[in-house]
Amino acid sequence: MNFQGIQPGSAAHAAMEADLRRRLGEALLAKEMVTREQLSDALEHQAQRGHRKLLGEVLVELNFVTEEQVMEVLAESYGLPFVTQTARIADPKIVELLPRDFLEEHNVLPLFLVRGVLTVAVSEPANLFLIEEIERLTGHEVQIVAATKAEIASSLALLAMTRTECIRLVDIVLMCVFFHETISR
């Protein structure tokens, strides 16, 4: 993907963000997930706080919708698959293509690599700069799927726990082998 012409803070970036807010709001209204009044309240709430949060985050914070509802609507509007149970489909070796702190900071989860194309679950499918950064860091073309922040965070925690448990198991097996060899002598 190539979005190098759009810089954060630029007029083009602001226009892109406004378009995304408009599309999300319209989609949530069309699906009757929010009312016009709720949408107006959320936009006002967002403006009062200097646009530090995305519209979807504000709507969730105000308990107008769930994170899953927002992500499903965003995924549909971008023509992306919405995924759940990412821990089950993530290849642990592929997850390690990116540093752990990067995964946690940007809330992304590499899932699998097929024919040089890396599929990554992201919680902000509109973050074009992040997609470019993943491509740069991995050296692979990236395709994204949408997932909630909670889904990605829990999958990262589960995958880390699984790796730690495997290391503990190997340590236990090695101690047993050593103990058995010591007794057998």
pLDDT digits (tens, 9 = 90+) for 122-178: 998 888 899 999 999 999 999 999 999 999 999 998 888 666 776 777 788 888 888
Instruction: List domains and CATH numbers for the chain.
Output: 11-78 (no CATH), 86-184 (3.30.300.160)
Residues with Cβ < 8 Å from 178, sequence gap 6 or more?
Answer: none
Nearest to 144 by CA among 55, 69, 83: 83
Question: Rounded to an integer, what distance in angstroms lies between the CA atom of residue 24 and that of residue 55?
Answer: 8
Q: Whole-prediction pTM value?
A: 0.71
Instruction: Evaluate whether 112 touches 91 at the Cβ level (below 8 Å).
Output: yes
Tell me the pairing of strands 108-114 and 141-146: unpaired
Question: Rounded to an integer, what distance in angstroms lies between the CA atom of residue 154 and that of residue 133?
Answer: 23
